Structure formats: C-alpha cells, structure tokens
C-alpha cells in the first residue's frame, strides 16, 4: 500500500480518545517536501480508530516553517482487522526516510493524560505564521559550507523520492 500526501490537511483536530497508537521520531532528519525549503523535521506515526475502522497517518512536522506535511494510505480508512498491517507499512515508510521511531506509550495513559499529551503535540496545532524574513534569510556561509548543504539536501530529496 502506498502513502500519498494529503495536501488539504494542515493539522489534526481528532480527539485524543480516537488515537489507538502513536510513535514519534527520536531525532530530527533533514527533508525536502514540495513547496517547502529543505529543513529538519520530526516524524509521527499514528492510528485513529472509530466505528470499526482505522486510519493510519504519517505526519512530518517541519521545524523551521512550523507546519506539518501529512501522508495517508491511498485507500484511506481500512477495516480494524487490517489496521496492524497498514500501520506496519507506515512504520516502514517513515523509517525509509531516515527516522528512528519510538513508542510513546500513549495507549497506557489515563484519559486526562492522553488529552494533555495530545494537545501539546505540534501536529495537533494550526500552522504558525513564519515571517518572510525568517523564511528567506540565510546565515553567512562560505561557498564550501553551501556546497555541503546542497549535497545534504539532495541526498534527503533522494530518500524522499525513493520512498514514493
């Protein structure tokens, strides 16, 4: 199953009670997504459940622009009986992009703690405005440093394209 970018989704407003599983990356990885400059981001993998169905979501939170890029299975929601296999595919998708995912133990929290934790995760927040100056200003770098950054960005783009 393939994961495709959900371009209209900018943040998750689902209630914490619907989150059955949640993994997050232990460190940021430099990636480039269409419409955004290459930048470090964190990854989240989660499963929302309800009504006998499940939706697996992959979210990449871009640290510099403070917005989230979401991916969902091309088939969308699946029967709860298929959720584990789709979740595993999402896990492999995220790891293929260079992330190491860790279990958050979200499912073990009390209802109140789940809500508190969920409301603080950046993928549940509306995108924050970043000033134009912040987006386009570059620190003074030597030509050699800029070349290293270009090479790093190209390798990140390669990982992204290989995962598609």
pLDDT higher than 50, residue 136: no
Q: What are phi and psi of 44, to 5 degrees?
A: -135, 140
| DSSP for 63-89, written as a single string | TTTTEEEEEEETT-SEEGGGHHHHHHH
How much is the mean pLDDT over the chain?
84
The tens digit of pLDDT for each residue in 7-52 reads 899 999 999 999 999 999 989 999 999 889 999 999 999 999 999 9
Domain locations along the chain? 3-163
Note the pLDDT of residue 54.
95
Note the pLDDT of residue 128.
76
Q: What share of the chain is helix, strand, coil (3-state, %, to 5)?
A: 40, 30, 35
Full-model pTM: 0.76
The tens digit of pLDDT for each residue in 89-113 reads 999 999 999 999 999 989 899 999 9
Weakest mean pLDDT among 76-80, 119-123, 127-131: 127-131
């Amino acid at each position: 199953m393939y994961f495709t970018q959900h371009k209209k989704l900018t943040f998750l407003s689902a209630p914490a009670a619907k989150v059955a599983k949640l993994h997050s990356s232990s460190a940021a990885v430099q990636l480039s997504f269409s419409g955004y400059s290459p930048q470090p981001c964190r990854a989240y993998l989660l499963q929302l459940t309800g009504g006998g169905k499940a939706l697996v979501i992959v979210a990449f939170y871009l640290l510099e622009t403070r917005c989230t890029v979401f991916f969902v299975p091309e088939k969308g929601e699946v029967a709860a009986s298929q959720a584990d296999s789709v979740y595993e595919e999402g896990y492999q998708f995220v790891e293929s992009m260079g992330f190491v995912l860790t279990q958050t133990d979200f499912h073990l929290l009390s209802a109140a703690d789940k809500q508190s934790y969920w409301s603080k995760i950046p993928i549940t927040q509306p995108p924050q405005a970043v000033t134009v100056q912040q987006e386009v200003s570059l620190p003074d770098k030597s030509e050699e440093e800029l070349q290293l950054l270009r090479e790093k960005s190209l390798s990140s783009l390669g990982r992204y394209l290989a995962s598609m």
